[in-house]
Structure 1
Amino acid sequence: MSEPEVAARGSAALLGPAEVRDLAQRLGVRPTKQLGQNFVHDANTVRRIVAAAGVGRSDTVLEVGPGLGSLTLALLDVVDSVVAVEIDPVLARQLPSTVERRAPELADQLRVVEADALRVGSADLPLRPTALVANLPYNVAVPVLLHLMAEFPSITVALVMVQAEVADRLAASPGGRVYGVPSVKAGFFGTVRRAGAVGTQVFWPAPRVDSGLVRIDRYVDPPWPTDAEHRRRVFAVVDAAFAQRRKTLRAALASWAGTPAEAERKLLAADISPTARGETLDTAAYVRLAAQE
């Protein structure tokens, strides 16, 4: 969906800085680092996130950590269904009331699930999501993202806001300084790219670091098997390779393969140099390596 279409439908009264603070005070909510809570209070930012996701009326959006509802309201302006997963019981109970008050005509499009996003499964959601759009809790952003992409293959696009450093890692290319486990694992599900930068001033409380938007477009025709067992094997190789990233793969993968010699055999069979290091391989190379018997 284009930005003009997003603007044309909008009817929700979005939350601003004063509304966010007043609502938090009324609820007795004090943002905690433990839950990674930083609430967005800038209407232009949430509209930009929704536009970058490209979601439309036919989408069912999964939102994680909706907080006070800033992004939720912007999403409801554009899509017909939002399933919001919130771990904080106070915030989970309040969100429907906030939507009812600020956008009553959109209230029946929201469903709230009080749950931990790291443990939520398909049986916990009332609808099958087609997109993930979220300001992810900073302290668990990567595990949550990978869990949801694995748990819900119906998600065709993910647009998440994370710490800028984490965004760089997720979207990094092989050989770069920040390329690592998150880069390879995110690339297992689809194409990953940076989708924008977000400063600290749009949050309350303001975080100490900038944020970034990351978009994952799931492969329409996956280039490799995507079942849980195959993913587990691939991720095990990735974890082993980066656990000792300064070592050659022959040495780093010795425990995974059983011996350095066996690691070398598997690497050569996968057309990978035993003297290469983990940060030089793309996701496809790790998939080939995991397939070696």
Structure 2
Amino acid sequence: MTRTRPSRPPAGGAHELGQNLLVDQQVVDRVVDLVPDTPRPLVEWAAGRGAVTVPLARLGRPVEAVEIDERSAERLSRVVPGNVTVTRGDILRHAPPAEAYDLVCNVPFHLTTPVLRRLFTLPGWQRAVLVVQWEVARKRAAVGGATLLTAQWWPWFAPRLDRRVPASAFRPRPSVDAGLLVLDRRTEPLLPTGQQRDYQRFAAAVFTGPGRGLPDILVRQGLDRGDVRRWAREHRVRPDALPRDLGAPAWVAAYGLTRSERGQERAGLRRSAR
């Protein structure tokens, strides 16, 4: 029997949901196709009226559908099969399963940044299939250039852009198109978790630091000019390249310069615990 777990509504009273429901079956089918073929349980954030929930349930895996709107949650609990648990709650406060799982979310556009930030800090999930605004999907997948948020989490997560989703696929129709963004937790991270804070601080300093092109920015951060030149040659970084132009391997290699003995001395960066 499907059950609806109560959850305390968000503080502050009325909540503006701002969700555009998927009504295009081809897009729904593609979302389900992107879910990996594993026995892991599934979590769907912002389940709405179940357009994606019901097809996910047909995969035969345990599904937890999280929806903040009381009427939608009650309706959903009446139409889903027994392998689905409907939880009424805020996706920004939802407690995920303790074991490994996969996540699906048609992200309410006004919650895109907080949802992504929370997702990156949550343990457990292995793949996230997200419907987000088109430009956000492009930026997070580093299409046309990376953002700081993408660069800061690249060593641990691999993003890719699957396709564009037209505004006509939603009701009510939004003013912009969306995109299907797939995030995979790397089975072999490019950096140890213990270096995460130092690396992210380094990425932020490079993105916001002064200089005419990346090599100049890195030297101004205190790195050895010769080391930077060798790094630039190895990774084909032009003198006028910007932080947005780097890929994940180049970011990790640049950070590695700060962890050399010479880099530690020149940059004065704290050595992370190994």
- Could you report, residue by residue, the CA deviation over 1:23-76 in whole angstroms, capped at 9, with x for unpaired residues? xxxxxxxxx8x54411112333222211122345x1211222222322222211
Structure 2 partner of 1:41: 23
**Aligned-partner Cα distance in 2 for 1:267–1:149:** 35
Alignment partner of 1:99 out of 51, 58, 76 = 76
The aligned length equals: 238
Q: What are the Cα deviations for residues 81-127 of structure 1, in whole angstroms up to 9, with x where unaligned?
A: 222344x3xx1x34553234323xx145224151342x55xxx2355
Aligned counterpart in structure 2 of residue 115 of structure 1, from 74, 90, 95: 90
| Counterpart-to-counterpart distance in 2, 1:200 and 1:116 | 23
Instruction: Report if the CA contact (8 A) 1:195-1:213 is conserved.
Output: yes
Q: What is the aligned-residue identity percentage?
A: 25
Unpaired segments of 5 or more residues in structure 1? 1-31, 255-259
Which deviates the most, 229-238 or 161-170?
229-238
The alignment partner of 1:67 has SS state of coil
TM-score, structure 1 length as denominator?
A: 0.68
Partner secondary structure for residue 125 of structure 2: coil
Mapping of residues 200-239 of structure 1, within 5 Å: 200-225=167-192, 227=193, 229-239=194-204
1:149 aligned partner, one-letter code: F
Conserved? CA contact 1:96–1:107, under 8 Å: no
Question: Quick one: which amino acid aligns to residue 27 of structure 2?
Answer: T
- Mapped to 2, the partners of 1:168 and 1:224 lie a distance apart of 24
In the other structure, the counterpart of 2:136 is 166
Distance 2:191 2:27 in 1: 36
Q: 2:125 aligns with which of 148, 151, 155?
A: 155
In structure 1, what is the equivalent of residue 224 of structure 2?
265
- What is the root-mean-square deviation in Å for CA atoms of aligned residues? 3.1
1:52 pairs, out of 34, 38, 43, with 34
Does residue 281 (structure 1) correspond to residue 252 (structure 2)? The answer is no
8 Å CA contact 1:270, 1:285 repeated in 2:
no
> Which residue pairs with 1:144 in the alignment?
115
The TM-score with structure 2 as length reference comes to 0.72
SS at match of 2:159: strand
Q: Give the number of the structure whose residues are more often helix, by fraction.
A: 1
* 5+ residue gaps, structure 2: 1-14, 259-263, 265-274
